[in-house]
Amino acid sequence: PGPEISASEKSEKTAQWVRADRDRLMHPNLPDSRTERTVMVEGRGCHVRDSSGRKYLDAAAVLGVMQVGHGRSEIVEAATAQMSSLECFHIWETMSNDKAIELAVRVTGLAPPGLERAYFTSGGAEGNEIALRMARYFHYRREQPERTWILSRKSAYHGIGYGSGSVSGLPVYHQGFGPVMPDVHHLTAPDPYHAEAYGGEDVTEFCLRELRETIERIGPERIAAMIGEPVMSVGGAVIPPPDYWPRVAELLRSHGILLIFDEVVTGYGRTGRWFAAEHFGVTPDIMVTAKGITSGYVPHGAVLVSDEVAATVTGSTGFPIGFTYTGHPTACAVALANLDIIEGENLLENAVKTGGYLADRLAPLRDLPAVGDVRQIGLMLGVELVADKTARTQLPTGAAPVVQALREDEGIIVRGNPRSLLINPPLVLDRGAADQLADGLFSVLERVGTDGRVRP
């Protein structure tokens, strides 16, 4: 700890930061340039503290990254040791480095059998860019260059690169940014809570029929891959029916279409398994991971692929694309220390246990007028907010006023989308913090009106 700062110095510093933030820093997402933002300065375990000294429960795990909790000295030590020996090197052409090799062995050992090779990136969008390119290049190398189409799903979020943004199924990532990547089609995603959207048909049957018809219309010989989050994250922790992915995977395989799982949020224990693919008994051809691989201590990601995909895209001339930071040794050392903690502290088991406890505590939220659905898988939770429980219509304000009231009134940070609260606490969440979260949610959600406002 540094020297004590007096309360008046703290508030003066905060005021300076808020002004400089408003004038100099560009932020994603919030429109109002006059907004006074909360300036975070430190974190320990499941909590963070802002520049005024206020403590918050970080029930968003930053942005779904923080598996092992804030302030872990083991990770700091691993990064320091690596930076002291070899802070940075590349793995292009004839070069490699020890930490990239160690991490490749480690993550392919954790992945579902069949994913034997790792390609490192610095984050989720980069991983999806690589996955999309790999899928097209795989068919190109197999002399089927006409296989360029990518199937994705509405409401999906895959990042904001050109390809990853194009396959994302939210219009805000397309409008105003010029032409999107060609040869992309968005299918309907399964959402069991909104059965009314499937015209009375079983949700899986509807999605499978649409997929079959789409493959026929485009032509299987023109389709490279389908990409999907096994459990939709930004979409609101939307868990598909258990038969959806196995049947999708079987249909794609019968047409030689690759399956890409985006496990950027769900990977490394978030759902109580190493990867969400395990819940569905499906091994994709390409699996994109990031966030939890380092708990966000430094940016990193890994695209895990089958030997067949790796060998085909590499061919006799090599896979021609890579990033400067592909295989960055400090990022890899941090990932290894992070995975040690996840394993050593049985955090997958904690995600199952504490996630289950939280789900039990939150189940009665469904009796509140503003709550339509509560979804949970491990420590990935979604609370769907409704204006009308029968019609399942969304609140006119979306979740924003609830997110704000949770932060301001209860000191709890979660995220929201137009329909749902997105709750992804660190995997080290204990009963005490789970109770704080549940109590805070009750206290705010029982004050939400049909107009979406939170009563004082």
**The only residue of 262, 373, 384, 410 in contact with ligand PLP, by rule CB under 6 A:** 262
Q: Looking at beta carbons only, is 156 or 406 nearer to ligand PLP? A: 156
Q: How far is CA 198 from CA 152, 205, 206, 239, 456, in A?
A: 18, 9, 6, 16, 38
| Tokens found for residue 134 | 């790999």
**The only residue of 57, 125, 187, 385 in contact with ligand PLP, by rule CB under 6 A:** 125
Strand-pairing partners, residue 150, are: 184, 225
Q: Looking at beta carbons only, is 156 or 336 nearer to ligand PLP? A: 156
Task: Provide, rounded to whole angstroms, the least separation between the CB of residue 173 and ligand PLP.
Answer: 11
Contact 159, 131 (CB under 8 A): no
Buried b (16+ CB within 10 A) or exposed e, 206-233: bbbeebeebbeeeeeeebbbbbbbbbbb
Q: 178 to 207, contacts with ligand PLP by CB under 6 A? A: none
CA separation for the pair 65, 41 (Å, rounded): 18
SS3 296: coil
Q: Which segment (9-17, 131-139, 151-159, 219-227) binds ligand PLP by CB under 6 A?
A: 151-159
- Judging by beta carbons within 10 Å of its beta carbon (0-12, 13-18, 19+), is residue 359 exposed, middle or buried? middle
Q: Looking at beta carbons only, is 233 or 283 nearer to ligand PLP? A: 233
**The only residue of 43, 45, 69, 124 in contact with ligand PLP, by rule CB under 6 A:** 124
Is residue 229 part of the contact set for ligand PLP (CB under 6 A)? yes
CA separation for the pair 300, 121 (Å, rounded): 6
Q: Looking at beta carbons only, is 124 or 426 nearer to ligand PLP? A: 124
Strand-pairing partners, residue 118, are: 304
Q: Which segment (155-163, 253-261, 373-381, 382-390) binds ligand PLP by CB under 6 A?
A: 155-163
Q: Helices 431-445 and 400-410, interaxial angle, to 10°?
A: 120
Q: Which segment (48-56, 190-198, 262-270, 431-439) binds ligand PLP by CB under 6 A?
A: 262-270
Q: Looking at beta carbons only, is 229 or 285 nearer to ligand PLP? A: 229
CA separation for the pair 227, 214 (Å, rounded): 14
The DSSP code for 366 is G
CA separation for the pair 261, 244 (Å, rounded): 13
CA separation for the pair 141, 130 (Å, rounded): 16
Beta strand 380-385 with 371-377: parallel, antiparallel or unpaired? antiparallel
Task: Provide, rounded to whole angstroms, the least separation between the CB of residue 420 and ligand PLP.
Answer: 14
Site string for ligand PLP, 127-146 (x = CB under 6 A): -x------------------
Q: Looking at beta carbons only, is 231 or 405 nearer to ligand PLP? A: 231
Instruction: Name which of 335, 319, 340 is nearest 91 in CA terms.
Output: 319
Q: Which segment (153-161, 251-259, 365-373, 437-445) binds ligand PLP by CB under 6 A?
A: 153-161
SS3 385: strand
**CA dihedral for 331, 332, 338, 342, sign (positive or negative):** positive
**The only residue of 99, 158, 273, 415 in contact with ligand PLP, by rule CB under 6 A:** 158
| Tokens found for residue 429 | 């969440």
The whole-angstrom distance between residue 317's C-alpha and the CA centroid of its chain comes to 34
Task: Provide, rounded to whole angstroms, the least separation between the CB of residue 64 and ligand PLP.
Answer: 6
Task: Provide, rounded to whole angstroms, the least separation between the CB of residue 362 and ligand PLP.
Answer: 22
Is residue 123 part of the contact set for ligand PLP (CB under 6 A)? yes
Task: Provide, rounded to whole angstroms, the least separation between the CB of residue 442 and ligand PLP.
Answer: 27
Q: Looking at beta carbons only, is 124 or 440 nearer to ligand PLP? A: 124
Q: Looking at beta carbons only, is 58 or 262 nearer to ligand PLP? A: 262
Contact 39, 15 (CB under 8 A): no
Task: Provide, rounded to whole angstroms, the least separation between the CB of residue 121 and ligand PLP.
Answer: 9
Q: Give me the residue label for tokens 């954790």.
A: 110
Is residue 395 part of the contact set for ligand PLP (CB under 6 A)? no
Beta strand 149-153 with 184-187: parallel, antiparallel or unpaired? parallel
Task: Provide, rounded to whole angstroms, the least separation between the CB of residue 125 and ligand PLP.
Answer: 3
Is residue 159 part of the contact set for ligand PLP (CB under 6 A)? yes
Task: Provide, rounded to whole angstroms, the least separation between the CB of residue 128 and ligand PLP.
Answer: 6
Q: 291 to 320, contacts with ligand PLP by CB under 6 A? A: none
Q: Looking at beta carbons only, is 122 or 283 nearer to ligand PLP? A: 122
Interface residues with ligand PLP (CB under 6 A)?
63, 123-125, 128, 157-159, 229, 233-234, 262, 264-265, 290
